Amino acid sequence: METLTIKEEQKQTEAKATKSISGSVAVLDALLNENVKTIFGYPGGAIMPIYDALYDYNDRLEHILVRHEQGAIHAAQGFARASGKTGVVFATSGPGATNLVTGLADAMIDSTPIVCITGQVFAHLLGTDAFQETDVINITTPVTKWNHQVTDASEIPAALAKAFYIASSGRPGPVLIDITKNAQLQLFEYEGYKKCEHIRSYRPKPIVRKEYIEEAAKLINAAERPFVIFGQGVILGKAEKEFKAFIEKAGIPSAWTIMGMSAIPTDHPLGVGMLGMHGNYGPNLLTNECDVLIAVGMRFDDRVTGRLDKYAKQAKIIHFDIDPAEIDKNVKTTVPVWGDCKETLPMLTALVESKVYPQWLQKFHDCMEKEKALCIQPEMNPEGDILTMGEVIKTLNELTQGNAIIVTDVGQHQMVACRYAQMNQTKSNITSGGLGTMGYALPAAIGAAYGDPSRTTVAIIGDGGFQMTLQELGTIMQFKPNVKILILNNQFLGMVRQWQQLFHEKRYSFVDITSPDFVQVAKGYYIDGQRISERSELKGALKTMLDHEGSYLLEVMVGKENNVFPMVPQGRGVAEIVLSKEEI
């Protein structure tokens, strides 16, 4: 096994044009060249040579040993979302690789840049049903942007260069490289690492056609009630400034999708709230009243559009996206602008007139007043003694001032957190938007804490989702990332229960979930925590959690049968959004 340090390698490289290294060292050298510092992984038989090489790279590569490979990939996702960099995962063959599948699917649908490196059985054993052999390439094909199997060490540098290039360029996504054990062990003549900058069959970034920007600007300038809806494309494109400049010059009310949240501060005067099934009232209702709808870096997910034949039929639609397959996929556009919004938005800003739409904006404010009275007020200032999820988030806002990274799981707490959390800076909202993966938040929060250690990371999780990946408390115990775990416990699988109440005549079918004593579980992992259920304790407990040195678990008992409103019931149009269960 090759165990030379890079410096020694370089010295030798100078002496000799090429030198012989193992495939495993080539993998680690590739990571260093791609500026990777953190890896989330779990060892096993078929990836042992890489782990053996890693032993000598401890000073340059930080490896976080998770408790399950699903935890590794969600952590890498959280890392990528908090840092804007590519997350890296190591896993072994067979079960190690198959445990990545949920995370790959999640990263695929939420466009998260991930490079997974999996070990594979010896090349001569491929196809023989060897121990821990699984056809990981074919299993992961539908859930990766690209995947590739390497059976010869000499292919490793180029394969990894391609992997990092593909994962992070264009519309980002997960890439998996499967390396057979013989290739990890094999020595080959290494000529150094060359970053990939071009693949002839891959055009991540189209050249922008100005005609379309001009047409878009014309429509916007003539509009009376323009409305901007934006998604994660703004964040992935690192175009937050460009986006803000555009809406501020054009004066257009703007609403975010769950994935686009935090691209502009949540209290921005033109920010009118969240779209979607449990989004705000105004943005949903007024989607069907605007005359020009400008979609930026979003993909018209069904949770955003509701019934498509009742979606923005009156409006001319401009769609900015980097992925041409998204244009006209769900909603027919009037003007498509295919390109990187970092490039297209400034071109558009230059052409739009500086305007304000006070009456139109007022309509959003009026809707917000109505929503406040009917949905927000009872959530923020409930009449009874039982805590609501909303007031927990409100109190958290007061303490974090909107500066924390909020990682959410999936379900009612996710909707409530995204509806009410205050966010001042980009990359503050980390959640499983497209796939809706319960169990995402705890490992993703671990990754986020490594992705941006300068910020406080709060993982808000339901009692159901927490039980799906709570083994990652072990990772927190061992590596001590600073994660504040806030469990909102309603003693139910709340979102499913809400649907069973509203649409299945309250036939509660297996939503009544019992939980262990979460605080004791955390204590078992040497993580401090407490459980509260009284309003009087709330602020103090949250403050204790935030001020605590290191990770902390706070379990808040909340109302068992509270519902999230407003809601666009499934199968209805966005304008049919309801504010209470009486309206359904």
Enzyme catalytic residues: 69, 131-132, 181, 495
Minimum Å gap between C-beta 375 and another protein is 37
- Using CB under 8 A, pick the residue from 22, 149, 284, 551 that binds another protein: 149
3-state SS class at 75: helix
User: Length of the chain in residues, anyone?
Assistant: 584
Candidate segments 145-153, 227-235, 358-366, 436-444, binder of another protein by CB under 8 A: 145-153
CA-wise closest residue to 366 among 305, 287, 281? 281
Write the CB contacts of 511 (distance below 8 Å, at least 6 apart in sequence): 492, 493, 494, 496, 497, 500
CA-wise closest residue to 252 among 369, 372, 352, 338? 352
3-state SS class at 114: strand
3-state SS class at 414: helix
209 near another protein, rule: CB under 8 A: yes
> Binding residues for another protein, how many (CB under 8 A)?
29
Residues of 20-43 as b/e, b for ≥16 C-beta within 10 angstroms? ebbbbbbbbbbbebbebebbbbbb
Q: What are phi and psi of 271, to 5 degrees?
A: -80, 115
138 near another protein, rule: CB under 8 A: yes
139 near another protein, rule: CB under 8 A: no
Minimum Å gap between C-beta 206 and another protein is 7
CA gyration radius, the chain: 25
CB nearer to another protein: pick between 326 and 576: 326
CB nearer to another protein: pick between 17 and 325: 325
CB nearer to another protein: pick between 138 and 362: 138
Candidate segments 45-53, 195-203, 381-389, 526-534, binder of another protein by CB under 8 A: 195-203
Minimum Å gap between C-beta 137 and another protein is 6
CB nearer to another protein: pick between 193 and 202: 202
CB nearer to another protein: pick between 324 and 382: 324
> Rounded to whole angstroms, how far apart are CA atoms 415 and 378?
16
Candidate segments 205-213, 245-253, 439-447, 527-535, binder of another protein by CB under 8 A: 205-213
In this structure, what DSSP letter does residue 372 have?
Answer: I
- Using CB under 8 A, pick the residue from 201, 401, 509, 514 that binds another protein: 201
- Residues in region 290-349 near another protein by CB under 8 A: 323-325, 328-329, 336, 338
Q: Say if residues 73 and 440 touch (Cβ distance below 8 Å).
A: no
CA-wise closest residue to 404 among 476, 483, 310? 483
Q: Report the half-sphere exposure of 546 (CA within 13 A, side-chain side).
A: 22
Minimum Å gap between C-beta 221 and another protein is 20
Candidate segments 62-70, 144-152, 420-428, 481-489, binder of another protein by CB under 8 A: 144-152
Minimum Å gap between C-beta 100 and another protein is 17
Write the CB contacts of 304 (distance below 8 Å, at least 6 apart in sequence): 229, 257, 275, 276, 279, 298
Strand order in the sheet with 405-408: 429-430, 405-408, 457-462, 483-489, 552-557, 528-532
Give the x/- contact pattern for another protein in 212-231, rule: CB under 8 A. x-------------------
- Using CB under 8 A, pick the residue from 189, 191, 211, 512 that binds another protein: 211
CB nearer to another protein: pick between 202 and 499: 202
Minimum Å gap between C-beta 74 and another protein is 24
Minimum Å gap between C-beta 218 and another protein is 15
3-class secondary structure per residue, 273-303? EECCCCCCHHHHHHHCCCCEEEEECCCCCHH
Cis status of the peptide bond prior to 566, with omega within 30 of 0: yes
- Residues in region 161-190 near another protein by CB under 8 A: 166
142 near another protein, rule: CB under 8 A: yes
CB nearer to another protein: pick between 339 and 402: 339
Query: Residue written as tokens 């806002």?
Result: 397
- Using CB under 8 A, pick the residue from 17, 59, 200, 514 that binds another protein: 200
**Residues engaged in binding another protein (CB under 8 A):** 137-138, 141-142, 145-149, 166, 197-203, 206-207, 209, 211-212, 323-325, 328-329, 336, 338
